[in-house]
Amino acid sequence: MRKTIRLAALALASAMTLAAGTVSADKLKVGFIYIGPPGDHGWTYAHDQGRLMIDNMLGDHVETTFVEGVPEGPDAERAIAKLAETGHKLIFTTSFGYMEPTLKVAKRFPDVKFEHATGYKQADNVATYSARFYEGRYVQGQIAAKISKSGIIGYIASFPIPEVVRGINAFMLGAQSINPDMKVKVVWVYTWFDPPKEADAAKVLMDQGADIITQHTDSTAALQAAAERGIYAFGQASDMIQFAQDTQLTAILDNWGPYYVKRTVDVLMGAWSSGDTWHGMGPGMVGMAPYTNMPSDIAMMARATAESIRTGAFHPFTGPIYNQAGELVVKAGEVAADFPMLATMNFYVQGVDDKLPE
């Protein structure tokens, strides 16, 4: 995938350089709306890395701007509109809560293209995109089951939205594939980024016997709290190894860059069209950080699982899958459908000891 993009970018660059002699090409302005600060080393950081890839590969023809810390709601509409008004022709809105504002602004600016992350509504000039993080969670689950001695995982969850629930389920399925009796304790912190709270959650989970910590929140606090007690943990959204050199096992990497560059090239070549993109390890949108702090045979197993997911040989949500009530929701040998099951997942698989809000 990366090779194709590099070739396309190169081809485009050469074409434009030739054309530049005759026509003065104004740089394409690409805008980004971030929900947090790029320095969070988590969600927003990963998106910003994607933006930087656009700068690196297409810098001669593209100029990027970002607005950070934009709260979801009415302020978002204004910020997005401001980008549209100031000549940005491609705008990435990187949080679910920007959905309605993006659609509203898109109506007012039909010749601007919008890309909304993790959303589910499209329009002629609004595309949606997301990543199959759950693929990484499955691999993590397997690693956790192999390494854990207490058989208890501590899971720090943010909000009970389908993406998070999917992650918990995939993690459990991966763990259960090694040890059917794995337990997972879930704590909902109702925030994406609150280091003291995340640290508290990690401590509480460890107090209750968890000896592996994983999170669906964005800071490194939980990882570091675990490291302080010598407990293994997984990083989130970016490789957090420098924060826990002896205890990070791996991390799920959000790799938005290739997709961002592709869409930018599409706009430059006039070939952009709306749609929904949900890529996983296959196209390289999800990656795993190097497997560290574990015996080499477990690392090899993890690599093998990841590879089989990447090639499409294996799907984490392959049946038989039972829900908490014991009902069979995916038949043996079948794969859970993207729609509606995976995309709107709001049930737990059997073995998760928690209740989701109605």
Partner 1 sequence: MLRLEARATQSAAAAWLSPLFAITLTILTGAIIFVLMGKAPGPALYIYFIEPLTSGSGLSEVAVKAGPLVLIGVGLSLGFRAGVWNIGAEGQYIAGALLGSALPVYFYQSTSPLLLPAMLILGMLGGMAWASVPALLKTRFNVNEILVSLMLVYVAELLLVHLVQGPWRNPQGWGFPGTRLFPDAALLPVLVRGQRVHLGTLIALLVPLLAWFVLARSRFGFRIRVFGSAPAAACHAGIRPTRMIWSALLIGGALAGLAGVIEAASTIGQLMPKISPGYGFTAIIVAFLGRLHPLGVLLAGIAIAVTYIGGEGAQISAGLPKAVTGLFQGIILFYLLAFDLLTRYRLVVIGRQGSRA
Partner 2 sequence: MTELIIASIMTMMTAATPLVFAATGELVCEKSGVLNLGVEGMMLIGAVFGFAATAITGNAVLGLAAGGACGLAAALIFAVLTLTLLSNQVATGLALTIFGTGLSALVGLDYVGDTIDQIRRVHIPVLGDLPVVGRLLFGHDPLVYLGIAMLALTGWFLARTRWGMILRAVGDSDISAHAIGYPVIAIRYGAVAFGGAMAGLGGAYLSLVYTPLWAENMTAGRGWIALALVVFANWRPGRVLLGAVLFGGITILQLNAQAAGLGIPAAFMSMLPYIATIVVLVFISRDAIRIRLNAPACLGRPFRADR
Instruction: Give residues 108-167 in contact with partner 1 (rule: CB under 8 A).
Output: 108, 120, 159-162, 165
Q: Give all strands (DSSP E) within the chain, no chain letters.
A: 28-33, 62-67, 88-93, 113-117, 126-131, 152-157, 183-188, 212-215, 232-237, 248-254, 276-279, 286-288, 321-322, 328-330
Cβ partners under 8 Å of residue 324, min gap 6: 347, 348, 349, 350, 352
Residue 346 has φ and ψ, to the nearest 5°, of -140, 35
Stretch that binds partner 2, among 139-147, 188-196, 270-278, 287-295 (CB under 8 A): 188-196
Residue 194 interaction partner, one of partner 1, partner 2, none, beta carbon < 5-8 Å per kind: partner 2
From the list 93, 29, 25, 16, the residue with the least C-alpha distance to 63 is: 29
Among 221, 249, 265, 309, binds partner 2 (CB under 8 A): 221
Residue 57 CA from chain centroid, whole number:
22
Cβ partners under 8 Å of residue 268, min gap 6: 12, 16, 28, 58, 61, 62
Residue 303 interaction partner, one of partner 1, partner 2, none, beta carbon < 5-8 Å per kind: none
Closest CB to partner 2 among residues 95, 264? 95
Instruction: Give residues 230-269 in contact with partner 1 (rule: CB under 8 A).
Output: none
The site map against partner 1 for 184-203 (x = CB under 8 A) is: ------x-------------
How crowded is residue 318: how many other Cβ atoms within 10 Å of its Cβ? 16
What dihedral do alpha carbons 267, 271, 275, 277 form, nearest 10°? -70
Count of positions on this chain that bind partner 1 (CB under 8 A) = 35
CA distance 289 to 304: 14
Q: From the CB of 255, what's the least distance to partner 2, in Å?
A: 18
The site map against partner 2 for 140-179 (x = CB under 8 A) is: --------------x-------------------------
- Site membership for partner 2, residue 287 (CB under 8 A): no
Q: From the CB of 304, what's the least distance to partner 1, in Å?
A: 32
Identity (one letter) of the amino acid at 298? Answer: I
Tell me the DSSP string of 155-174. Answer: EEE----HHHHHHHHHHHHH
Among 63, 72, 100, 354, binds partner 2 (CB under 8 A): 354
Closest CB to partner 1 among residues 79, 152? 79
Among 53, 103, 144, 187, binds partner 2 (CB under 8 A): 187
Among 97, 151, 195, 284, binds partner 2 (CB under 8 A): 195
| 3 state SS of 193 | coil
Residue numbers of the site for partner 1 (CB under 8 A)?
Answer: 65, 67-69, 71-75, 77-79, 81-83, 85-86, 96-97, 100, 108, 120, 159-162, 165, 190, 340, 343-346, 357-358
